Amino acid sequence: MDAFKPHLASLAPYPYRRVDARVKLDQNESPEELPPAVKERALRRLADLSWNRYPDLHGEEVRAAVARYTGWAPEGVAVAPGSNFLILALGQAARRVVDTSPSFAYYEGAARLSGVDHRAVKLGAGFSLPVGGLLAALGGGPGVLFLAQPHAPTGTLFPADQVAAVVAAATRDGWLVVLDEAYHQFAGSDLRALARGNPSVVLLRTFSKAWCLGGVRGGYLLGSPEVAGKIQSMLPPFLVPAHTAAVLLSALESPGYVEDLVARVVAERGRLLAGLAGHPTWKAHPSATNFVLVRTPDARAAYDGLLARGILVRRQDHYPGLDGCIRVTVGSPPENDALLAAAASLR
Ligand SMILES: Cc1ncc(COP(=O)(O)O)c(C=O)c1O
């Protein structure tokens, strides 16, 4: 390992372990597949491709389709097979990284991989946005601030004026603010207006959740042409595979299915929260996403008890401030029934 940079010695693996279970509620995926007509169109497109040929250099056709869908200038769009690649490039570009604690783990992962200073600011009471703490943490000189809105892994939608206040102060001091909208459809929120008015703001979005395409891998960035162009140029050439592009293009031709799926998930989220509200010891946190964070007396016991009943969730008690917490993805109606029945038998 002498050939590698010293900072890589302390790199921790991404905190995920694959476990098989009858009911899979551990990765915030869509409980539904792509609608059959969209999938068939994607398969036909895939069959018509020349598999011996390289794909677009930087997913240009997907970039153009994303630009049309979002009403964004194509030069301000960057695409990758998953927004994790965009997070990694942003981490590599950053002089330093600030995020919240807890937050989506790969912000810190990307900072650590890149060997840059990472600071996490604890959320306030009730998982509120720590506006003062964040502004204080920006004192060390410009870098990249990652903020998920709605927030992961708590599911909180921060008040829009607080996000705008953090963005205004941070960008005034030269910071680039990355607003991660991985779950925005489930919150009915949309930060495009904020990003449009400020070239030091970028948005990240993913096809892995509301678009039902976790296995296909697709994510995009919306920002200024300068930032999007820089990030895109940091990614390896031909990164978006032809088969991924074929599926993303087919989905972007029929985006209406996303809205339908989101309405069903939001209704089920309400049912899940209502069902858990009567639990004697578990406390579900309000959610604006497709998952629910639940505080239990003992995360390991809750996880094991659910798994013994065929239900896989994700422990979150390794995060500071989340002792006892598990994260439950909103599933299909029968999956949520199974979760509620199992929860009722656990204390
Ligand atoms: C907040 C947040 N950002 C980004 C991602 C990564 O998305 P992708 O699947 O596009 O890499 C996730 C995945 O769970 C997430 O929760």
Same domain (yes/no): 160, 286: no
Domain boundary among 223, 253, 283: 253
308-333 b/e with 16+ CB inside 10 Å = b? ebebbbbbbbebeebebbbbbbbbbe
Domain boundary among 188, 221, 253: 253
Q: What is the count of structural domains for the chain?
A: 2
Helix axes 299-308, 333-344, angle to 10 degrees: 120
Same domain (yes/no): 295, 226: no
Same domain (yes/no): 181, 230: yes
Distances (CA, A) of 10 to 13, 20, 119, 277: 10, 29, 16, 41
- Within a domain: 219: yes
- Within a domain: 210: yes
The pick from 25, 26, 30, 84 for probing ligand 1's pocket by mutation, whose C-beta has the most ligand atoms within 8 angstroms, reads: 84
Same domain (yes/no): 217, 270: no
Residues with CB under 6 A from ligand 1: 28, 82-84, 104, 148, 152, 180, 182, 206, 208, 219
Task: Kindly give the distance from the C-alpha atom of residue 53 to the centroid of ligand 1, in angstroms, as a whole number.
Answer: 29
End-to-end Cα spacing for the chain: 47
Q: Whose CA is nearest to atom 15 of ligand 1?
A: 182
Instruction: Give me the CATH number covering residue 246.
Output: 3.40.640.10
3-state secondary structure of 204: strand
pLDDT classification of 252: cutoffs 50, 70, 90: very high
- Within a domain: 42: yes
For residue 10, pLDDT beyond 90? no
Same domain (yes/no): 272, 143: no
The pick from 83, 85, 181 for probing ligand 1's pocket by mutation, whose C-beta has the most ligand atoms within 8 angstroms, reads: 83
pLDDT digits 0-9 by tens, 148-190: 999 999 999 999 999 999 999 999 999 999 999 999 999 999 9
Report the percentage of the chain scoring pLDDT > 90: 96
pLDDT digits 0-9 by tens, 302-314: 999 999 999 999 9
Domain boundary among 202, 234, 253: 253
pLDDT classification of 246: cutoffs 50, 70, 90: very high
For residue 143, pLDDT beyond 80? yes
What is the pLDDT, as a whole number, of residue 156? 98
Full residue range of the structural domain in which residue 271 is found:
6-30+257-344
128-167 b/e with 16+ CB inside 10 Å = b? ebbbebbeebbeeebbbbbbbbbbbbbbbbbeeeebeebb
Same domain (yes/no): 22, 142: no
For residue 13, pLDDT beyond 90? no
Task: Kindly give the distance from the C-alpha atom of residue 40 to the centroid of ligand 1, in angstroms, as a whole number.
Answer: 26
pLDDT classification of 12: cutoffs 50, 70, 90: confident
Same domain (yes/no): 70, 194: yes
Overall average pLDDT of the 114-133 stretch: 97
The residues near 210 (Cβ < 8 Å, ≥ 6 apart) are 30, 183, 185, 186, 258, 261, 262, 265, 290
Same domain (yes/no): 26, 46: no
- Range in 8-17, 121-130, 258-267 the model is least confident about: 8-17
Same domain (yes/no): 124, 180: yes
Same domain (yes/no): 113, 24: no
